[in-house]
């Protein structure tokens, strides 16, 4: 199935969860996830299944001054 990750189309397996995708993409450090314009809390990453056409934004948090 096709989803959009940070504006790029990506093919992923049916039934993949947000957590599995984050592992596959090797996302590290503090980050926030938005699924279809809604914040997806970390506690839901392992349960939230992605569907065809979903839009996922992964934002890495960077500190500094």
Report the pLDDT value the prediction gives residue 65, as an integer from 0 to 100: 66
The helix/strand/coil state of 18 is helix
Evaluate if residue 29 carries a pLDDT over 70.
yes
Residues 6 or more apart whose CB falls under 8 angstroms from that of 22 comprise 33, 45, 58
Residues above pLDDT 90, as percent of the chain: 88
- Predicted TM-score (pTM) of the model is 0.89
pLDDT tens-digit series, residues 37-48:
999 999 999 999
Evaluate if residue 64 carries a pLDDT over 90.
no
């Amino acid at each position: 199935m096709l989803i959009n990750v940070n504006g790029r189309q990506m093919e992923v397996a049916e039934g993949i969860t947000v957590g599995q995708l984050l592992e596959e993409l090797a996302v590290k450090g503090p980050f926030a996830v938005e699924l279809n314009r809604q914040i997806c809390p970390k506690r839901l990453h392992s349960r939230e299944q992605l569907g065809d056409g979903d839009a996922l934004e992964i934002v890495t948090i960077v500190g500094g001054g």
